[in-house]
C-alpha cells in the first residue's frame, strides 16, 4: 500500500477510535497527523471537521479520517468546506467506491456504528483505493461546479 500522508480528527465520541486508527496507520509506516480531540470530554464535532478539511486543502495531507458517534455529523460539517468530499461509510463496498468513483478525500466513521476491526478494514480500503477517473472525473467536476455556483450558504 502506498504510504500517503494521513490526518485524523475526532470529537469526544470518536476519540478512542481515532487514536486506535492513527496508531494502526503509524505502525504501518504512514505519516500520520492527529488534530485532536485529545479526550472524551464533550466537544463540538464541526470544529474538528473544519480543522481537518483545512489541513487537507492546505496540502498537508492527502486523505483524512474523521470519527464521531455515527460519522454523519462529521461528514455533514466537512462537506460544507468547498473541495472536501467526505463520506460516512460503514461497509467495505462504500469505502472502496467512494474513492474509486467519487474521489472522496475524507472518510467519516462512527465509533458507535463500527468496531475497531471493521473501522481499520474500512480505513485501509479507503486509503489504498485510487480514483478511477474517466466518466467519474466529469461527475466529480460537476460537484465542484455546484460548489462554485452555490458558494457558501449561511
Mean pLDDT of 107-116: 98
3, with CB counted inside 10 A (0-12, 13-18, 19+), is exposed
Q: What is the pLDDT at residue 135?
A: 95
The pLDDT mean for the chain works out to 96
**Which residue segments constitute the domains of the chain, with CATH numbers given?**
5-150 (3.40.1400.10)
- What single DSSP character describes residue 29? T
Candidates 12, 67, 68, 108; catalytic one:
68
Q: What is the pLDDT of residues 14-28, one digit of tens each?
A: 999 999 999 999 999
pLDDT at 72 over 70: yes
Candidates 67, 89, 101, 108; catalytic one:
101
Mean pLDDT of 112-121: 98
Q: Is 101 designated active site?
A: yes
Q: What is the pLDDT at residue 35?
A: 98
Q: Distance from CA of residue 5 to its chain's centroid?
A: 13
How many other CB atoms are found less than 10 A from the CB of residue 97?
17
pLDDT at 43 over 50: yes
Q: What is the pLDDT of residues 131-141, one digit of tens each?
A: 999 999 999 99
pLDDT at 152 over 60: no
pLDDT at 125 over 80: yes
Q: What is the pLDDT at residue 14?
A: 98
Q: Is 89 designated active site?
A: no
pLDDT at 55 over 90: yes
pLDDT band at 154, cuts 50/70/90? Answer: very low
Q: What is the pLDDT at residue 41?
A: 97
pLDDT at 2 over 80: no
pLDDT at 1 over 80: no
Strand ranges inside the chain, DSSP E: 5-10, 31-34, 63-68, 86-88, 106-110
Amino acid at each position: 500500500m502506498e504510504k500517503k500522508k494521513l490526518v485524523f480528527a475526532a470529537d469526544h465520541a470518536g476519540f478512542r477510535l481515532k487514536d486506535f486508527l492513527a496508531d494502526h496507520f503509524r505502525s504501518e509506516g504512514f505519516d500520520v497527523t492527529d488534530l485532536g480531540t485529545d479526550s472524551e470530554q464533550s466537544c463540538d464535532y464541526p470544529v474538528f471537521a473544519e480543522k481537518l478539511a483545512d489541513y487537507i486543502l492546505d496540502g498537508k495531507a492527502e486523505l483524512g479520517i474523521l470519527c464521531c458517534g455515527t460519522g454523519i455529523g462529521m461528514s455533514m460539517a466537512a462537506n460544507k468546506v468547498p473541495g472536501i468530499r467526505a463520506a460516512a461509510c460503514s461497509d467495505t463496498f462504500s469505502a472502496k467506491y467512494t474513492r474509486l468513483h467519487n474521489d472522496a478525500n475524507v472518510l467519516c466513521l462512527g465509533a458507535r456504528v463500527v468496531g475497531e476491526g471493521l473501522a481499520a478494514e474500512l480505513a485501509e480500503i479507503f486509503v489504498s483505493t485510487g480514483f478511477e477517473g474517466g466518466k467519474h472525473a466529469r461527475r466529480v467536476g460537476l460537484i465542484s461546479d455546484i460548489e462554485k455556483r452555490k458558494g457558501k450558504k449561511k
